[in-house]
């Protein structure tokens, strides 16, 4: 099985770009960030204080079934106890909570095991914060995708507005800056580029340009 790891900070376009590149290559796509969002949603629903009670949050996640499914169109769907929560996990509140819950070692251990199992089934492009450094250190291709915080916040703001969510650019930028700091500072598998990762900065790129860029890099590295 071929494994491609795409890491980078929030809003760098990892999910959209990786999903479309995976489709072009005929790989499955695994959005690990969505899995942590589902963990966060499970905690928010029961009212556990993720930062104040990390053990309690880990206990909640341990008891909830989180799974990945693929629709007829090949799109990844995230299931929480069998419920499709793919849309609900994209709210700003869940985004912040996902950064907090992903810092809990027990939660990361549980999700990493599930992610590795998915990567053993088919050729895969997996994106997240620690895929190349922790989840799939043996990946055939490792990419660290980034852009300026302002550019990433603009993209995320436009995406949320298109979905009808009421947010301001300043709120999105503040939440993104918080996530950047939290993800890079956590003790367990922090956000970092693997030593052998290819760094790609998409600041100012169109979506099509970024897709072509990553597709070319992966195709060349895999010898396809």
CB atoms within 10 A of CB 63: 10
Going from the C-alpha of 207 to that of each of 15, 16, 101, 180, the distances in angstroms are 12, 9, 29, 22
What is the residue-averaged pLDDT of the chain? 91
Mean pLDDT computed over 119-123: 90
Residue 200 lies in a domain: yes
Which residues lie below 8 Å from residue 52, measured CB to CB, with a gap of 6+?
Answer: none
Name the domain count of the chain.
1
Exposed/middle/buried for residue 183 (C-beta within 10 Å: 0-12, 13-18, 19+) = buried
Please tell me the predicted confidence (pLDDT) of residue 62.
94
Give the helix/strand (H/E) hosting 37: helix 32-46
> Distance between CA atoms of 121 and 35, rounded to whole angstroms?
18
Please tell me the predicted confidence (pLDDT) of residue 129.
87
CB atoms within 10 A of CB 138: 9
Q: pTM higher than 0.85 for the full model?
A: no
Mean pLDDT computed over 206-224: 92
Please tell me the predicted confidence (pLDDT) of residue 224.
57
- CATH of residue 212's domain is 3.40.50.300
Q: What is the pLDDT of residues 39-78, one digit of tens each?
A: 999 999 999 999 999 999 999 999 989 888 887 777 789 9
Two structure tokens written together for 193: 């580029």
Please tell me the predicted confidence (pLDDT) of residue 141.
97
Q: What percent of the chain has pLDDT over 70?
A: 100
Residue 215 lies in a domain: yes
Helix, strand, coil shares, percent, the chain, to 5:
50, 15, 30
Residue 183 lies in a domain: yes
Q: What is the pLDDT of residues 152-182, one digit of tens each?
A: 999 889 988 988 888 899 999 998 888 888 8
What domain range includes position 107? Answer: 3-219
Residue 216 φ/ψ, nearest 5 degrees: -65, -40
Report helix, strand or coil for 30. strand
Residue 21 lies in a domain: yes
> Distance between CA atoms of 61 and 64, rounded to whole angstroms?
5
Confidence of residue 124 (pLDDT cuts 50, 70, 90): very high
Q: Which of 143, 138, 109, 105 lies closest to 5 in space, CA to CA?
A: 143
> Distance between CA atoms of 165 and 157, rounded to whole angstroms?
9
CA 194 to chain centre: 16
Please tell me the predicted confidence (pLDDT) of residue 145.
95
Residue 71 lies in a domain: yes
Please tell me the predicted confidence (pLDDT) of residue 1.
87
Number of H helices, E strands in the chain: 8, 8
Residue 224 lies in a domain: no
Q: What is the pLDDT of residues 9-27, one digit of tens each?
A: 988 888 899 999 999 999 9
């Amino acid at each position: 099985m071929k494994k491609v790891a795409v890491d980078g900070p929030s809003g760098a376009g990892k999910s959209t770009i990786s999903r479309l590149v995976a489709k072009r290559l005929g790989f499955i796509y695994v959005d690990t960030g969505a899995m942590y969002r589902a963990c966060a949603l499970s905690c928010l629903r029961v009212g556990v204080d993720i930062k104040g009670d990390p053990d309690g949050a880990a206990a909640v996640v341990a008891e909830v079934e989180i799974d990945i499914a693929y629709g007829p169109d090949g799109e990844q769907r995230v299931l929480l106890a069998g419920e499709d929560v793919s849309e609900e996990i994209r709210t700003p509140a869940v985004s912040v909570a996902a950064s907090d819950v992903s810092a809990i070692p027990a939660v990361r251990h549980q999700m990493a095991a599930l992610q590795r199992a998915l990567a053993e089934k088919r050729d895969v492009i997996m994106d997240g914060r620690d895929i190349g450094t922790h989840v799939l250190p043996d990946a055939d291709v490792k990419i660290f995708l980034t852009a300026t915080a302002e550019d990433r916040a603009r993209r995320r703001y436009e995406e949320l507005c298109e979905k009808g969510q009421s947010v301001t650019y300043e709120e999105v930028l503040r939440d993104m800056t918080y996530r950047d700091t939290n993800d890079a500072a956590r003790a367990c598998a922090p956000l970092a580029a693997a030593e052998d990762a290819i760094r790609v900065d998409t600041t100012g790129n169109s979506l099509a340009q970024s897709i072509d860029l990553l597709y070319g890099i992966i195709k060349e590295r895999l010898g396809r």
